[in-house]
Structure 1
Amino acid sequence: MSKESPGITVSKNKDFSEWYTQVVLKAELADYAPVKGLIVLRPDGYAIWESIRETLDKKFKSTGHKNGFLPVLIPESLLAKESDHFAGFNPEVFWVTHSGENEIGDRLALRPTSETLAYSMYSKWIQSWRDLPLKINFWNTALRAEIKATKPFLRTSEFLWQEGHTVHATQEEAEKEVMDILEIYKKTVQEELAIPVITGKKSDKEKFVGAVYTTTMESIMPDGKALQMGTSHFLGQNFSKPFEVKYLDKNNAETFAWQTSWGVSWRLIGAMIMVHGDDKGLVLPPRVAPIQIVIVPIYYNDKDADRVNAEADKVEKMLKDKGLRVHVDRRDQLTPGFKYNEWEMRGVPLRIEIGPKDLDKNKVMYATRHIKQKLDLPMDKIESEIDHILEKIQSEMFEAAKKMLADKTTQTSEYSEFRVALEKGCFVDAGWCGKKECEEKIKEDTMADIRVIPFGAGNSGKCVYCKGSSITNAIFGRAY
């Protein structure tokens, strides 16, 4: 890929992987770090993450969660306390073995996830029923050895995420927490990022290591691959017992607590790029766009420049006073056409063009990024109409993504049709007998796994693979 090329040089439909990489780099969301598997987040990429974080953080705090901080190093002896959990993560762990030239003894893991570290602390903090529920969220990074098949935002060795860890007195309260968090995730992804998701449970084979069960939200990308968008886990007492997270109840009896953990990562940014982007580049939903509106003044002489720039300043102030994120492109050395292409590549949802002819007619021209529609807007209607225009863009982007999900989901009870649908890049809704053997055989044969067992899933009556009685339908797909 040529770094000198200003625009996207491949089609999304012809070379999806290269298209995605070009959008990430050329829209200046991220760049590759000197260490393989790591990326550097640039200001626009970080601004999108900040928007997601602010939305979630507000929702978490409104439901009684507080933020904390955890260190990045975890002793190996601590990780080994929950053996199944540790075994699941061990292949991905980065280990610190030396301090300077000296061996440190007990190896230290660079945090792949924080259950063991958090719960060793929780066991100290929780003494009685009065200390519950304990609901803490951590905004941090995690490190996992993704070195071979890396892709910005989707698979990197270090990634930004949030991970929540809660402790409850009863199973019912903990299970309610699991579902409440999943609903917060679903609303945030659908309402802010304009990406529809399917929510439900993972199979036992696919659940989080150490969990009783895992709930998940899944979506499908334009190339037909599934992407896990976030998970919320019911841990039961699987961690409270080895880590002695227990309390004295109201009857002064010692009781092991019930726990949950949950998280989303900057993988959401990767999903947003893939779902909404086009051959021109990035397409951003207005609610998370670092710049929601770019104003491009158009003039060809000094006389026109003064009055056009004065009107651009006036419109900028009006929109910023409404709390909108606005930028005026005042670069005189570039043509309007060059500016249009650049801001389209960077995904700005709405462009306002102001030229002398527009001023003569007391109007502006606006262009929507998602469907490339250009319309006139009277000057005196800008303030009252702009919010409606942005909301319409947000809504239309979600509806388009919802249609893609529907178009790429098919239902069948025949294994031959099942395989054809997977080859076409679809989610397949099919019956499953509940046996791990069938799940593994399907994976071995087609590279597809059970992405989600939807809440309220139907039952077609027979397993798509073995033809035995099915216990439920599940959504199968090939994943990143």
Structure 2
Amino acid sequence: MSKNEGRSAISPKRSEDYPEWYQQVIKEADLAENSSVRGCMVIKPWGYGIWENMKQELDDRIKSLGHENAYFPLFIPLSLLQKEADHVEGFAKECAVVTHHRLELKDGKLVPSGELEEPLIIRPTSETIIGESFSKWIESWRDLPLLINQWANVVRWEMRPRLFLRTAEFLWQEGHTVHASEGDAIEETLLMLETYRSFMEEVLALPVIIGRKTESEKFPGAVDTYCLEAMMQDRKAIQAGTSHYLGQNFSKASDIKFTNKEGELEYGYTTSWGTTTRMIGALIMAHGDDDGLRIPPRIAPKQIVILPIVPKPELEAEVYTYAEKIASRLKNLEYHGNKLSVIVDKRDKRGGEKSWEWIKKGIPIRIEVGPRDVESQSAILLRRDKGVKEKQPLLIEALEETVLKVLDEIQQGYLKEAKNFRDAHIKKDIKNFEEFKKFFTPKDKEKPEIHGGFVLAKWCGDPESEKILDELKVSIRCLPLDQSGTQGTCVLTGKEATIDAIFAKSY
């Protein structure tokens, strides 16, 4: 997507080695790094700034629907997990277990001591520990719906870690609700799915396909799992968020009961839903180019950097004062309900070096000012969505209006680019498994990640048929909520079928 046809800031380019390009973007944008604990990452200020803005935007939407934030323990007693057999089986291989409560020095080495009577699980997800509290909080139908959200970290032991995409510890938001009826709970599940969709498309500029997971792909213990699937630039899918209708399964396991309006005791209907720091990985792969990261303005830690150009030391004070004057004016502007975030980069580095650093970080707008600009009361505006040498001279009086317009153009432009790319790589006319197999077989064995994209095709609904996808490393990503209702032939089995399904390789 880069408009720069000359040198590129990231090596290798996407077309040369996509997985390594991804790692280099993270490094050059200064987003995160691996920690000394295998599978865990350090999220650096620029990366965490993106997460903070995501968190604030999404938190506002969650609260506007009546949910309240709370916090629950990191540790879950093993006995609580055992109450929900299907749930435990789904996460058992990923659980980190605490078995001791202190360390002792023996022969000059610290060793675990004080074995716990009951092992504690570091939360892989919180349904069981939250369910225990809900069972105490709810007595009557008047206590419902109970709408709770938590911002927290979770641990799922990851054997093949990749920064942001798969790490042993990650940050997330998890919502948990209880309702008096099945209808209310299903409505909540779909409401949160739509909340995620609007957030991802309006704020992250990330187009998504919403749908329901197949039986084999759904959340352990759920009745139904709904998801949001996005296409990355290597044409693989990433699951950007999920919303689960849990029925009464977890209520029965956690004894969440209430007295209904007829005075009868019944189990509540529950939901859970969440999204994670994986969204940052999706952001990189959906919008990044061969010059690095490109951040949609609505979640950029800084929307604008002002770069003072000082050819002679004696001109420094004048140029810096002018740069600060512009920054002060721009900081007073509101952009989608928040003040613009602007920084003046006064570091003792060459102008070109600083400019490339901000390009790689993906900041939406760079503004250059030098002695001539001070004299003419003007500035030079450069956009991250344009070529690195494309400059727009502006008088200072026009700067504020132009900046707001440009930020919206960048935001909408990124969404349009990502949507056009996705739509161009959804294959809709594959008729049989041979064609299907050919589509998902890499044409270049040296670059196995390069394959066709998404396939939208008919599926007969037989869970056994999904097994033949394993060899291709393909899965049914979702059954889109927007179904055509037409009859056709299952692309896997050749049987008659009416269900539309999205097939893809995924992260």
Range class of TM-score, shorter chain: over 0.9
SS of the equivalent of 1:154 reads coil
- In structure 1, the residue matched to 2:239 is 228
1:334 Cα offset (Å): 1.5
Q: Which aligned segments of 4 or more residues in structure 1 are displaced greater than 6 angstroms? A: none
Maintained 8 Å contact 1:196/1:402: yes
Inter-partner Cα distance in structure 2 for 1:108 and 1:303: 65
1:425 Cα offset (Å): 3.4
- One of 417, 420, 427 as aligned partner of 1:400: 417
- In structure 1, the residue matched to 2:125 is 113
SS of the equivalent of 2:251 reads coil
Does residue 121 of structure 2 align to residue 95 of structure 1?
A: no
Does residue 52 of structure 2 align to residue 50 of structure 1?
A: yes
Residues matched between the structures, number: 472
Maintained 8 Å contact 1:168/1:257: yes
Query: Which letter maps to 1:429?
Result: L
Percentage of identical aligned residues? 42
1:183 Cα offset (Å): 0.8
Inter-partner Cα distance in structure 2 for 1:14 and 1:417: 27
Does residue 447 of structure 2 align to residue 421 of structure 1?
A: no
Does residue 371 of structure 2 align to residue 356 of structure 1?
A: yes
- In structure 1, the residue matched to 2:168 is 157
Maintained 8 Å contact 1:167/1:258: yes
- One of 395, 401, 405 as aligned partner of 1:384: 401
- One of 114, 137, 157 as aligned partner of 1:125: 137
What is the RMSD computed on CA atoms of the aligned residues? 1.4
1:27 Cα offset (Å): 1.3
- One of 12, 15, 18 as aligned partner of 1:13: 15
Maintained 8 Å contact 1:427/1:477: yes
Maintained 8 Å contact 1:295/1:354: yes
Maintained 8 Å contact 2:9/2:290: no
- Can you list the C-alpha shifts for 1:195-246, whole angstroms capped at 9, x where unaligned? 1000010111111111110110001111121100000000011111121111
Q: Which runs of 5+ in 2 are unaligned?
A: 1-7, 103-112, 334-338, 442-450
- In structure 2, the residue matched to 1:144 is 156
SS of the equivalent of 1:203 reads coil
Maintained 8 Å contact 2:487/2:496: no
Maintained 8 Å contact 1:85/1:210: yes
Inter-partner Cα distance in structure 2 for 1:248 and 1:94: 37
1:378 Cα offset (Å): 1.8
1:291 Cα offset (Å): 1.1
- Can you list the C-alpha shifts for 1:414-443, whole angstroms capped at 9, x where unaligned? 2222223223231100110000111112x2
Query: Which letter maps to 1:88?
Result: G
- Can you list the C-alpha shifts for 1:271-330, whole angstroms capped at 9, x where unaligned? 001111111111111111111101111121244333322221110000111121111111
Maintained 8 Å contact 2:433/2:493: no
Does residue 347 of structure 2 align to residue 347 of structure 1?
A: no
- In structure 2, the residue matched to 1:210 is 221
Pairwise mapping of residues 195-206 of structure 1 onto structure 2 (< 5 A)?
A: 195-206=206-217
1:460 Cα offset (Å): 5.0
- Can you list the C-alpha shifts for 1:116-143, whole angstroms capped at 9, x where unaligned? 1111111111101111110100100110
Inter-partner Cα distance in structure 2 for 1:49 and 1:76: 31
Inter-partner Cα distance in structure 2 for 1:208 and 1:337: 49
Query: Which letter maps to 1:346?
Result: K
- One of 334, 345, 356 as aligned partner of 1:329: 345
- Can you list the C-alpha shifts for 1:243-285, whole angstroms capped at 9, x where unaligned? 1111001121101111100000000000001111111111111
SS of the equivalent of 1:466 reads coil
- In structure 2, the residue matched to 1:3 is none
Inter-partner Cα distance in structure 2 for 1:348 and 1:74: 41
Does residue 392 of structure 2 align to residue 365 of structure 1?
A: no
- In structure 1, the residue matched to 2:303 is 292
